[in-house]
Amino acid sequence: MTNSIAELEDAKVILIVGSNTTEQHPIIGERILAAARKGAKLIVIDPRAIHLSGFAEVFLRPRPGSEVAYLNGLINVIISEGLEDSEFIAARTEGFEELKQAVAEYTPQKVEEISGIPAEDLVAAARIYAGSERASIVYCMGITQHSTGTDNVLSLANLAMLTGNVGKPGTGVNPLRGQNNVQGACDVGGLPNVYTGYQRVDSEEVAKKFEAAWGVEGLSRQPGLTLTEMMDKAARGELKALFIMGENPMVSDPDLGHVREALDKLEFLAVADIMENETLELSHVVLPAASFAEKDGTITNTERRVQRIRKAVEPVGDSRPDWEIVCALARKMGASGFDFTSPEEVFEEIRKVTPSYAGITYKRLGTQGLQWPVPDEDHPGTPILHAESFPIGKGKFTPCEFREPAEMPDAEYPLLLTTGRLLFHYHTGTMTRRSPSLVREIDRAFVEVNPADAAELGIGDGEAVKVSSRRGSVEVNAKVTDKVGKGVIFMPFHFAEAAANVLTNSALDPVSKIPEFKVCSARIET
């Protein structure tokens, strides 16, 4: 997030797009409702009716996959009505003319044809967003999990910069991170192209810095493979060995048939995890890991707040914290530089090599945490990014052209399948489905079908159906509901026995390499 969660309450307008906030981030959803109670206007853009859409000034329900079209449409309306922030554009940005030209053809009428959003609703949303002094954008995987995910995010950045909604309280472009430490895993170098703090592996200067810090030579300057690329290489027999820490790709990844084939081909697969899961059956070695309540450490939330977790009890059985496991493995492989006796010692090394974490210590974190960047130990942390300038100087408008999703409904697979989470479960369910209070709420998969489609297909509410795509099929019960629009079906992906990801498409965004979980074509049979 460029801004902070608490600030949402001070926004005058909140644009919620591709985020079912109440279910996926309930406490942030509550903060958004608190803002609405204080008079903030909500604009909700989502292919499904969600809790927040019931409180929205305007609710736009686009066809999944039409994001760039309708975001360009909003920009088109704002520019054609002269609602842009000319002062901000002149002082802080470049490329406005190119953006103006690129969006010229995305008239509300054309956007209606592509997305199904009524032209007058699009215009109303644009006027509300641009007409306020403080408008915040909140988005989630409904924006990113597309083969055009990067363009979708750039379009949101265009929209925010166009209206000067950057660098001030209650504004910004605010992605909500789904996993508890996605932000931190990225911050500390759990990515193929960067070391900690987003320092690039292909920079000679950076590589030399890490060679000195770690006391090694010859660190690879070649960016590595993303997770989905590793799967593809494994399937082709080019990746031979894989170590998985705390991840269950046999439920979480797109096109699970392909994942199985890939993992099966590996010469060696080791998994460290807290729970039995679907990936273990393909592993050669399984290492039992300690849970969050059994170890110390830090995690970083979606607003860049580094926070402590603390050991409350001893690990169950012979399980060990992952930090101990990785250190022991490195020593086993003959490495030096892994003689840590506590997570705090590891953190001290992290902050030495990571400018944005340099001023953070366990002592300073206390029970409130600190928001990076924290360049030194006297720095109070940074609730709002880009207040004075962008890291690259001026903010650059990046015009984006609409592209169709990789797979669209056709005669054979006439429905559009989109996927997501439920309030009561988390990702692949390895934790929440072992929690009695949560299992009591819901413990089985379903598919949401619009009443018009259900009538056409002769499907009754609660009826068992088979949902198929080009990649496989699963059996679930139908939930007939107008939460989804006609032609669109929705499945949660938590349930391994009826895994939505058997159906999803592994087509990738060319830049972010994110799979297109949110759109594939499917059909339903009784």
Partner 1 sequence: MAENGSEMNYRLVPSTCVYCGTGCGVLLEVTGDRLSGTLPQKDHPVSKGALCIKGWSVHEFVYSERRLTKPMVRSGEVLVETDWEAALAAVADGLSAARDKHGPDSVGFFASARCTNEENYLLQKLARAVVGTNNVDHCARL
- Does residue number 17 form part of the binding site for partner 1 (CB under 8 A)? no
Smallest separation, CB 220 to partner 1 (Å): 5
Cα separation, 383 vs 510, whole angstroms: 31
Secondary structure, 3-state, 65-122? CCHHHHHHHHHHHHHHCCCCCHHHHHHHEECHHHHHHHHCCCCHHHHHHHHCCCHHHH
Nearer to partner 1, 314 or 377 (CB): 314
- Pick out residues in 392-411 that bind partner 1 (CB under 8 A): none
Cα separation, 462 vs 479, whole angstroms: 6
Cα separation, 351 vs 358, whole angstroms: 4
- Are 13 and 43 in contact by the 8 Å Cβ rule? The answer is yes
Smallest separation, CB 473 to partner 1 (Å): 21
- Does residue number 274 form part of the binding site for partner 1 (CB under 8 A)? yes
Residues 6 or more apart whose CB falls under 8 angstroms from that of 41 comprise 12, 13, 14, 57, 128, 132
Cα separation, 276 vs 430, whole angstroms: 8
Question: Which window, 38-46, 164-172, 242-250, 410-418, contacts partner 1 (CB under 8 A)?
Answer: 242-250
Cα separation, 493 vs 126, whole angstroms: 33
Torsion over CA of 89, 94, 100 and 102, rounded to 10 degrees?
Answer: -150
- Are 409 and 427 in contact by the 8 Å Cβ rule? The answer is no
- Pick out residues in 83-142 that bind partner 1 (CB under 8 A): none
Smallest separation, CB 151 to partner 1 (Å): 15
Question: Which window, 11-19, 51-59, 121-129, 511-519, contacts partner 1 (CB under 8 A)?
Answer: 511-519
Residue type at position 183: Q
Q: Which of 238, 339, 401, 482 binds partner 1 (CB under 8 A)?
A: 238
For 233, 448, 487, the CA distances from 473, given in Å and listed in that order, are 25, 16, 18
Give me the helix-helix angle, 96-103 and 149-162, nearest 10°: 120
- Does residue number 387 form part of the binding site for partner 1 (CB under 8 A)? no
Smallest separation, CB 195 to partner 1 (Å): 7
Q: Binding marks (x or -) toward partner 1, 31..70, rule CB under 8 A?
A: ----------------------------------------
Smallest separation, CB 384 to partner 1 (Å): 14
- Does residue number 495 form part of the binding site for partner 1 (CB under 8 A)? no
Nearer to partner 1, 323 or 413 (CB): 323
Smallest separation, CB 448 to partner 1 (Å): 21
Nearer to partner 1, 380 or 462 (CB): 380
Nearer to partner 1, 76 or 248 (CB): 248
DSSP string, 173-238: EEEPPSSTTHHHHHHTT-SSSB-GGG-BTT-HHHHHHHHHHHT-S----S----HHHHHHHHHTT-
- Per the structure block, which two tokens stand in for 13? 């307008």
Cα separation, 136 vs 160, whole angstroms: 8
- Pick out residues in 431-470 that bind partner 1 (CB under 8 A): 431-432, 434-438, 441
Nearer to partner 1, 132 or 432 (CB): 432
Smallest separation, CB 24 to partner 1 (Å): 6
Question: Which window, 123-131, 160-168, 275-283, 445-453, contacts partner 1 (CB under 8 A)?
Answer: 275-283
Smallest separation, CB 353 to partner 1 (Å): 9
Question: Which window, 72-80, 124-132, 366-374, 459-467, contacts partner 1 (CB under 8 A)?
Answer: 366-374
- Pick out residues in 144-203 that bind partner 1 (CB under 8 A): 144-145, 176-193, 195-196, 201
Smallest separation, CB 483 to partner 1 (Å): 20
Question: Which window, 158-166, 266-274, 397-405, 480-488, contacts partner 1 (CB under 8 A)?
Answer: 266-274
Q: Which of 152, 301, 450, 468 binds partner 1 (CB under 8 A)?
A: 301
3-state secondary structure of 302: coil
- Does residue number 244 form part of the binding site for partner 1 (CB under 8 A)? yes
Smallest separation, CB 229 to partner 1 (Å): 8
Give me the helix-helix angle, 67-80 and 96-103, nearest 10°: 110
For 140, 215, 374, 386, 487, the CA distances from 391, given in Å and listed in that order, are 23, 30, 15, 7, 43
- Pick out residues in 206-235 that bind partner 1 (CB under 8 A): 210, 214, 216, 218-220, 222-228, 230, 233-234
Residue type at position 181: N
Q: Binding marks (x or -) toward partner 1, 321..350, rule CB under 8 A?
A: xxx-xxxxxx-xx-x-xx-x--x--xx-xx
Residue corresponding to tokens 């920079």? 203
- Are 47 and 64 in contact by the 8 Å Cβ rule? The answer is yes
User: How many of the chain's residues bind partner 1 (CB under 8 A)?
Assistant: 143
